[in-house]
């Protein structure tokens, strides 16, 4: 979170979102190295489709030209690497020690608090932040409380997904949430519409379908190319026989 927020000092918001939309891919790579997981071609295709779809959405929704600053790119790239690690480490820790969601939230955010506090102290950013918050207590502490409360519920749900279904599915859900946020923005805010949104949305839907199919491949059996050709040939043969009779 610290790396991601710091990157906004060098990148504009649309550019940051474009990078964060690719989180699925480093999470899969982290799963391979940290947990020894193996993903099939359907999982990989689903991750690529959802990432490309959300990038396309962001580019269409952006009114600011993406700005690529090398320092900002390095910061957001490190943030993605941290995202890839933490989801898989949390999943492994919860399974290994049978930890609860509350324990994971407590330890993860307590350690993260120490990291960010040290960073603020070393960069002399703590003093000005406290002064600013003291001058605007309602707008800072009030919103911080609401943000913390909703964030706690959100991270609890994400950790429950990680514990039950794994890190990849949890990130898939949060990635789908980004797409839903964009859809809701059309409902609440008037904005021009282009077909780029349609193609981007279809890519995201395809990625979600492939992910669901991969998790339920035993229950959902899609017809193969051979099956389709065989059925078409039988249908033609039946029509020919009916015409002959």
Q: Binning pLDDT at 50, 70 and 90, where does residue 3 land? A: confident
Model confidence pLDDT, tens digit, residues 112-129: 889 888 888 888 888 888
Higher pLDDT, 54 or 95: 95
Average pLDDT for the chain: 75
Tell me the C-alpha distance between 23 and 92, whole Å.
19
Tell me the C-alpha distance between 58 and 92, whole Å.
32
Question: What's the pLDDT score for residue 157?
Answer: 84
Extract the tokens encoding 164.
């039950």
pTM (predicted TM-score): 0.58
| Residue ranges of domains in the chain | 2-97+166-244
Higher pLDDT, 127 or 190: 127
Model confidence pLDDT, tens digit, residues 165-189: 776 677 777 767 766 776 676 677 6
Share of the chain above pLDDT 90, in %: 1
Residue 36: which region, alpha, beta or left (left: phi > 0; alpha: psi -120 to 50)?
A: left
Average pLDDT over residues 196-225: 62
What is the Cα 140 distance to its own chain's centre? 27
Question: What's the pLDDT score for residue 129?
Answer: 85
Model confidence pLDDT, tens digit, residues 18-30: 677 677 777 777 7
**Residue 47 pLDDT exceeds 80:** no
Residue 124: which region, alpha, beta or left (left: phi > 0; alpha: psi -120 to 50)?
A: left
Q: Binning pLDDT at 50, 70 and 90, where does residue 226 land? A: low
Question: What's the pLDDT score for residue 9?
Answer: 82
**Residue 225 pLDDT exceeds 60:** no
């Amino acid at each position: 979170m610290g790396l991601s927020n710091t990157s906004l000092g060098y990148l504009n918001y649309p550019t940051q979102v474009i990078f964060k939309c690719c989180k699925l891919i480093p999470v899969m790579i982290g799963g391979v190295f940290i947990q020894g997981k193996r993903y099939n071609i359907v999982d990989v295709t689903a991750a690529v489709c959802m990432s490309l779809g959300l990038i396309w959405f962001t580019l269409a929704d952006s009114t600011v030209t993406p700005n690529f600053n090398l320092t900002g790119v390095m910061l957001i790239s490190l943030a993605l690497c941290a995202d890839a690690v933490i989801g898989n480490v949390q999943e492994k820790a919860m399974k290994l020690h049978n930890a609860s969601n509350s324990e994971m939230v407590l330890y993860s955010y307590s350690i993260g608090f120490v990291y960010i506090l040290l960073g603020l102290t070393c960069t002399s950013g703590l003093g000005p932040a406290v002064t600013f918050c003291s001058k605007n207590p309602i707008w800072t502490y009030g919103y911080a409380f609401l943000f913390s409360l909703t964030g706690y519920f959100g991270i609890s749900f994400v950790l429950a997904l990680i514990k039950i279904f794994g890190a990849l599915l949890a990130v898939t859900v949060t990635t789908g949430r980004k797409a839903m946020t964009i859809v809701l923005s059309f409902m609440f805010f008037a904005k021009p519409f282009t077909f780029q949104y349609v193609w981007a949305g279809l890519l995201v839907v395809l990625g979600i379908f492939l992910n669901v199919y991969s998790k339920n491949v035993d229950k959902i059996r899609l017809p193969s190319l051979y099956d389709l050709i065989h059925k078409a040939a039988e249908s033609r043969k039946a029509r020919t026989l009916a015409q002959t009779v």
